[in-house]
A and B are shown apart, each in its own frame.
Chain A
């Protein structure tokens, strides 16, 4: 998976970066989802532990 999008230079002899790769979109969504799941789990466990004590 590429981090960047590329195009051929106007001279036709090299690739130039033209921006971030949109293939990364699902990874950033997944990062948000992962944070939410981990935070919710930690809060739930901490809340249960506090409730028991």
Chain B
């Protein structure tokens, strides 16, 4: 029996001779790590002064915020035009399999959950939560730029009344606090040994064909193959 005969059949797009399949293109990996650096810089410049580490944080904070806004705009355009944005949208199969998985984890019996496509239900829910928070932070943060002098514009705090500013600052604050929780959860999953195959793919871009076959439903995600 040859090596190819011992493997389970996969989608035709993955050639039998391929050892690796592409999960994240270089452009998306660069985006991910630039976004990670931006978010961690923003959290550091926001919360370290609150925790008692005093330094001149405002310039680095707003400039990094503008960088994050540009990165997210690029990501949205790329996802909508060049990527399959539906891969990140919850569908009926995700919800059905999510219930089945939760039931099995709690010791219940029933049909086994199916495999996900490119992203698991937990990843889709995480992305949704992160998208809501990051977009809230960016929208409120861009408005907050009206209150500071920059090389590009002079401050004008009279655009809104004090009650409206209170709402804008509160949205920025609560969403930023919630980002702490989300980032903790994200790092935890990235470090879990059973998720290392995903973490590695965010460095190298690919997963092995065995990992692809083990974790993904080929009918729901047909990646480009890479030798």
Known contacts A36-B188, A42-B105, A49-B107; A28 and B170 CB within 8 A of each other: no
A35 to B194, CA, bound (A): 17
Which residue in B167, B176, B177, B188 is a CB contact (below 8 Å) of A17?
Answer: B167
Contact (Cβ within 8 A) A4 B170 = yes
Contact (Cβ within 8 A) B105 A16 = no
Contact (Cβ within 8 A) B166 A16 = yes
A1 within 8 A of B: no
Contact (Cβ within 8 A) A32 B181 = yes
Contact (Cβ within 8 A) A16 B188 = no
Name A34's closest neighbour in chain B (CB-CB): B181
Contact (Cβ within 8 A) B177 A25 = yes
Interface string of B154-167 (1 = CB under 8 A from A): 00000000110111
A31 to B34, CA, bound (A): 26
Contact (Cβ within 8 A) B173 A19 = yes
B180 within 8 A of A: yes
B-side interface size class: 20 to 34
| A interface residues, tally (CB under 8 Å) | 24
Residues from chain B with a CB closer than 8 A to the CB of A4 are 166, 170
Interface of B is mostly: helix
Known contacts A25-B50, A49-B107; A16 and B162 CB within 8 A of each other: yes
Contact (Cβ within 8 A) A20 B173 = yes
Contact (Cβ within 8 A) B177 A28 = yes
A32 to B184, CA, bound (A): 6
A22 to B173, CA, bound (A): 8
Residues from chain A with a CB closer than 8 A to the CB of B60 are none
Within 8 A of B (CB), among A21-45: 22, 24-25, 28-29, 31-33, 35-36, 39-40, 42-43
Residues from chain B with a CB closer than 8 A to the CB of A46 are 104-105
Within 8 A of A (CB), among B169-227: 169-170, 172-174, 176-178, 180-185, 188, 194
Residues from chain A with a CB closer than 8 A to the CB of B167 are 17
A24 to B173, CA, bound (A): 10
Closest 9 CB pairs of A and B: A20-B173, A32-B184, A17-B166, A19-B169, A32-B181, A28-B177, A36-B188, A19-B173, A20-B174
Q: Which residues of A contact B (CB under 8 A)?
A: 4, 9-10, 16-20, 22, 24-25, 28-29, 31-33, 35-36, 39-40, 42-43, 46, 49
Given contacts A32-B182, A46-B104, 17 further A-B contacts (CB under 8 A): A4-B170, A16-B162, A16-B163, A18-B165, A19-B170, A19-B173, A20-B169, A20-B170, A20-B173, A20-B176, A25-B47, A28-B180, A29-B180, A29-B181, A31-B181, A35-B185, A43-B194
